[in-house]
Amino acid sequence: LIDECWHSEPVVRPTFSEIITRLDKVCCNCSKQGWWKDTFKLPWYGSLALNL
């Protein structure tokens, strides 16, 4: 998705609604499996939260 969003040809890039749809699918899959919670245990997440 990231590569597609930065494609050199703007017409090839996904629309915002396509991005939202795809991110919703990722989010649903993560929450069903429960492994998304492990993301918050990673060291970079804590440092990111402190920098906000």
For residue 35, the model assigns a pLDDT of 56
CA distance 30 to 38: 10
Kindly report, residue by residue over 1-52, the tens digit of the pLDDT. 899 999 999 999 999 999 998 888 877 766 555 555 555 555 555 555 454 4
45 part of a folded domain: no
Q: Which domain holds residue 20?
A: 1-31
Instruction: Give the chain's domain count.
Output: 1
Q: Report CA torsion sign: 17, 19, 25, 28.
A: negative
pLDDT at res. 36: 54
Q: What is the pLDDT of residue 27?
A: 75
- In which region does residue 15 sit, left (phi positive, over 0), alpha (psi from -120 to 50) or beta (all else)? beta
pLDDT, residue 38, reads 59
Which residues contact residue 12 at a Cβ distance below 8 angstroms, ignoring those fewer than 6 apart?
4
